[in-house]
Structure 1
């Protein structure tokens, strides 16, 4: 897929993961066994955590690139148009013939909470070869890896150290060697993901960050929704509160947070300041419908 970007241009952040179509319906409540919930009309939009994060970074003035695969279909075309429209570098978004683009089915309840089911397209999953091809010669200040990808591309990405700042996100794939977490400069997860990784629930986001740091990452950030975020790194730890806002849709809050945080770190913003800006980016996003601000 051709698109934005000159091969000689440097990138602030390269986001490595998935791009899919979000199929969203607003419902009065989630359906119960044997019953039907009637919701709004179905809307479709470009989505996927890496795509959302790349667009969030680009919307904040960053030079963002996406490394992902899509199918050669109408959804793949819709994704390409959204990325190009947002100014994201699409040189490494590969369209694979003969396959369909993945989708996420999203239910949004009146309190703004989102319930997401991902319909993977196995043929569009990144491979280690995709990573080698995309990152060879790529000049980027930071890279964000979705750790729930198959272990081979994640290991290929983290093992070659193509960027000064390497950020990991999401629960690692169950087959991923835990030792690769030592290659991360920053691990960013929400409280639910932290509990899944630690196999126990910790009430304090700061305590969860401290426990996760023992697994190897130099810095850990744990987001806590309306309660902001907590962090720990070699030079200290702390918490950042979130402003009180009206919540419309939480779907893209974490992605807006990470897109902003990655851009801040790529531009050498001190960690507490980068997290503060990221918390406000997430808070801005939940006040609007959809995964990204338009």
Structure 2
């Protein structure tokens, strides 16, 4: 039985089920920005992990059910409690008595950007097996969402591939957010190869401008580089540009939307808040991929969710509700 620390997660929503597969862990964030980890006198415990953040972001909009695998330790049980507090159904949670929940120390720069130091030796996500997958849950999904961290080591990589193939064979939309974390990969090239190995399995991909630069080894704002990531069969490619907003590309149209100016404290989880709100709306209405007016309205909302998430430390504690996102949009419009 594999635990979750940086451990694989499978999540579901009803109606319009969304399954989120990936990691959950605890980020230790310095209580002061702009200093090194060694200089920090204290840290704030913040639950995180991109797929779990997405699950909770959707839960904030009242739609998420989440079975998860955890380490049977204080931090693993704390994370389950956090999921419950965020209205995430934890009926499928399992605990491994032999491995620990993964931890990450996050250095906050003065501008709210961050750097990561991970502790996984090994952690739960690394030992998830295909036999532990709830394939019935995945096959009942409307959307299957995943990242790339679960591709780094076996047996988790094989479990990830099996879950993704089960989703595709059932005709479920596949959503991919690579969420590049170079310290976890053997090398930069291994990360590129691993991330791109499943690239063409997705229906929707969200990447940051930094990830575009990393994957293409070129200028993220050169449209030719962005479009080198496009492939036949992809329904939507979104590039997030931080506080500048986002760009979107489909087979039939493309464009951009500005972001929102806020007092940024910590950018952790901003992309996950963006993705969660977008997936929620896609689960409700799949025509968004083909209707530019609808897509722009949804992306405006997602930009607001991402911006609000940067105004507090940590990811899950900072995730916005629908009301707070609409309030920011309203203030910006008036």
Please state which band the TM-score falls in when normalised by the shorter chain: 0.7 to 0.9
Find out whether 1:190 has 2:208 as its counterpart: yes
Q: Measure the CA separation in 2 of the matches of 1:288 and 1:189.
A: 22
User: Are the aligned partners of 1:181 and 1:217 in contact in 2 as well (CA < 8 Å)?
Assistant: no
What pairs up with 1:33-182 in 2 under 5 angstroms? 37=39, 39-62=40-63, 64-66=64-66, 68-125=68-125, 127-129=128-130, 133-138=133-138, 139-150=140-151, 151-160=157-166, 161=168, 162=170, 164-170=172-178, 171=180, 173-174=191-192, 176=194, 178=196, 180-182=198-200
* Structure 1 residue 15: Cα displacement: 1.0
Q: Structure 2-normalised TM-score?
A: 0.75
Structure holding more helix per residue: 2
* Structure 1 residue 291: Cα displacement: 1.2
Find out whether 1:202 has 2:220 as its counterpart: yes
User: Are the aligned partners of 2:23 and 2:51 in contact in 1 as well (CA < 8 Å)?
Assistant: yes
Range 90-99 or range 174-183, more displaced: 174-183
Range 148-157 or range 17-26, more displaced: 148-157
Range 268-277 or range 254-263, more displaced: 268-277
User: Are the aligned partners of 2:13 and 2:141 in contact in 1 as well (CA < 8 Å)?
Assistant: no
* Structure 1 residue 167: Cα displacement: 0.3
Pairs aligned (count): 282
SS at match of 2:311: coil
What pairs up with 1:277-292 in 2 under 5 angstroms? 277-292=301-316
* Structure 1 residue 127: Cα displacement: 3.4
5+ residue gaps, structure 1: 2-6
Q: Structure 1-normalised TM-score?
A: 0.85
* Structure 1 residue 8: Cα displacement: 11
Of residues 215, 222, 225, the one that matches 2:239 is: 222
Of residues 284, 297, 307, the one that matches 1:273 is: 297
CA RMSD of aligned residues (A): 2.8
* Structure 1 residue 40: Cα displacement: 4.8
User: Are the aligned partners of 2:33 and 2:107 in contact in 1 as well (CA < 8 Å)?
Assistant: no
Counterpart for residue 154 of structure 2: none
Q: Measure the CA separation in 2 of the matches of 1:68 and 1:8.
A: 14
Q: Measure the CA separation in 1 of the matches of 2:314 and 2:277.
A: 17
User: Are the aligned partners of 2:34 and 2:110 in contact in 1 as well (CA < 8 Å)?
Assistant: yes
Q: Measure the CA separation in 2 of the matches of 1:91 and 1:252.
A: 25
